[in-house]
A and B are shown apart, each in its own frame.
Chain A
Amino acid sequence: MIQLEDLTKTFGAANRLVVAADRINMTVPSGEICVLLGPSGCGKTTTLKMVNRLVRPTSGRILINGEDTSGLDDIALRRQIGYVIQQIGLFPNMTVEENICVVPRMLGWDAGRAKARAAELIDLVGLDPHQFLRRYPKELSGGQQQRIGVIRALAADPPVMLMDEPFGAIDPINREIIQNEFLKMQAELKKTIMFVSHDIDEAVKMADKIAIFRGGRIEQYDTPDRILARPANDFVANFVGADRTLKRLRLIDARQVAQDAPALPAETAPQEAARLALAAGAPVVVVVDAARRPVGYVPAEALAGARGTLSGLAQPMPVTMPAQCDLRAVVSEMFTHDMRWLACTDAEGRFAGIVTQRAVTAALSEAAPAVAAQ
């Protein structure tokens, strides 16, 4: 847990004061990612650097896991905090392995243990240890350097990480990939992370909590969903963008708004299907195969008075989506196929409910930001 209490930093002499951070109060709970977000020059980096004391606070306190860090020696404090910067800062004179081993060695690990750790970490980000440990930074692509920068900060397993626009220098496609990799790692590692960004999309994607900065002050500190759903003021609303409601689509999984619909074999009689659809309040019945995989559908209104079996009425299923994907992807597919609903599947491809347009709009209505709160 990181707690900032009335943290203030002013630069410059008395006549030309710049208040880079103005009485910042915030708490980052253990295991969460807190994104400091705001336009350039609003004090995000200054706030971050006060935590590892690259910038000395003018006043205020910083507590890590309840302990006031002002009592700790700078060097000892920094060795317990992972630090990643936008320029990456890999040491060009050292191999990848040597770069990763820097902090563990300073902490007194023996060489064998540090090297084993380096190999383990590089494997974790999907790079081949045999190929990459001996390389120099200049022999890596930008994306690979960025990954090494992150695992170098993780090398000694610090409980707290500070990341200053860590993925800012990579192209959008690779950024997306590395963000996903990092989130997957974080799901296991559960570090307490302060993460600086100026990109609202990145913040929404990475953050458990977002702190919106303006002119050295926090304008709003809240979950991404609440920031998007209920911006505290015009500045926040402008900053997150006019499409803020659409951005919330990313925060909600299909399964959170999925509803049940009858999933029936093709031999079922239409009357029976109509009865079940009515009971479930579903606009369609889904035709499934023996393994419960959706293969077709019949709109509820087409069932009334029909004869034979569903197989004669069913239309092929145009598309299905995994239940764990976010609503942005679901809505995109809905629009692509001109559908008012979409079938979801579980990991085995079995039918797992439908997402309707009504359910999506209901979830997005500002009255109910709690849907995505979990």
Chain B
Amino acid sequence: MTRAVAMATASGLGAQVAWRLLALAAVVALVLWTGLDEQISPYWEDILYLTRQHVVLVAASGGAAILAGIPIGVWLSRPGMARHAETVMQVFNIGTTIPTLAVIALSMTLLGIGFAPAFFGLFVASLLPIVRNTYTGLLAVPAHLKEAATGMGMTPRQILWRVELPNALYVIFSGVRTALAINVGTTPLAFLIGGGGLGELIFTGIDLMDTGMLLAGAVPTAMLAVLVDFAMAQAQLTLVPKGVNPLR
């Protein structure tokens, strides 16, 4: 019976991977079938250059948001912070309701134009879901687990690393996934404040009513979004331990 369950789970995993790959293949097929590739091909060099810029922006701001957001979430969840954490989270929650375009615009008023304000705006926009999920995920770890861990003689640091973080990991991962989706979706706007990226083709295409140019920006942006979400889903599936992973 155990083996049957294991096989069912394995095929479940396989099916999920297969579906995502299929979706990706469908996008590529659509591009070829509609003849989009011919409209796009004149912009090939621009696409390569701008995609690189775009990816650097996503990776840098997203990575920074993860590196900052998780420790901030952990810090807010510590007992010593209990009195202030809710207030801080309220501020973060209000921050989430501000449209990302407004965040980008505000960032420009602070930092001018170029890579820096684009990076900062995207960083702030992706930070919120990571902090929020890390914080709530850690608080949701059942008190009796922490009590058992304390009673067994674990140090607070051991409890954090061996009990709290693993048990909150699924929720934290969901936060990271949301953050990266927001990030990838917002990055085309970076062009508006001189941050470069595929937004350049999209917005210029719109201005010039040039469908080919517009698509040359839109299609890679869409594919990047699908790819990032796919990668995150895979990571969530495989990196979150089996005992606390509802997907397995």
B-contacting residues of A (Cβ < 8 Å)? 52, 54, 74-79, 81, 83, 85, 87-95, 102-103, 106, 131, 136-138, 152-153, 162
Contact between A76 and B162, CB atoms less than 8 A apart: no
Give the complex CA separation of A78 and B147 in angstroms.
12
Stretch at the interface among B12-20, B150-158, B185-193, B211-219: B150-158
* Chain B residues positioned under 8 Å from A87 (CB to CB): 142, 144, 148
* Chain B residues positioned under 8 Å from A106 (CB to CB): 152-154, 158
Q: Which residue of B lies closest to A136 (CB)?
A: B243
Given contacts A77-B153, A136-B242, 17 further A-B contacts (CB under 8 A): A54-B147, A54-B151, A78-B150, A78-B152, A79-B153, A85-B148, A88-B144, A90-B148, A91-B145, A91-B149, A91-B163, A91-B167, A93-B167, A93-B243, A93-B244, A106-B153, A136-B243
A-contacting residues of B (Cβ < 8 Å)? 2, 142, 144-145, 147-155, 158, 162-163, 166-167, 169, 241-244
Contact between B243 and A94, CB atoms less than 8 A apart: yes
Give the complex CA separation of A106 and B167 in angstroms.
20
Interface of B is mostly: helix
In the A-B complex, list the 5 residue pairs whose CB atoms are closest, starting with the nearest. Answer: A89-B148, A136-B243, A79-B153, A78-B153, A93-B166
**Shortest distance from the beta carbon of A150 to any chain B beta carbon, whole Å:** 12
| Pairs across A and B, CB under 8 Å, 8 listed | A83-B151, A85-B144, A85-B148, A91-B166, A92-B145, A93-B243, A103-B152, A136-B242
**Shortest distance from the beta carbon of A2 to any chain B beta carbon, whole Å:** 16
* Chain B residues positioned under 8 Å from A78 (CB to CB): 150-153
Give the complex CA separation of A346 and B199 in angstroms.
90
Known: A54-B147, A92-B243. A131 touches B153 (CB 8 A): no
**Shortest distance from the beta carbon of A314 to any chain B beta carbon, whole Å:** 53
B2 partner, pick from A91, A95, A131, A138, beta carbons under 8 A: A131
Give the complex CA separation of A78 and B151 in angstroms.
6
* Chain A residues positioned under 8 Å from B169 (CB to CB): 93
Give the complex CA separation of A162 and B150 in angstroms.
13
Known: A54-B147, A85-B144. A91 touches B162 (CB 8 A): yes
**Shortest distance from the beta carbon of A189 to any chain B beta carbon, whole Å:** 18
Give the complex CA separation of A103 and B152 in angstroms.
7
Contact between A92 and B151, CB atoms less than 8 A apart: no
Give the complex CA separation of A88 and B244 in angstroms.
16
Give the complex CA separation of A5 and B166 in angstroms.
40
* Chain A residues positioned under 8 Å from B142 (CB to CB): 87
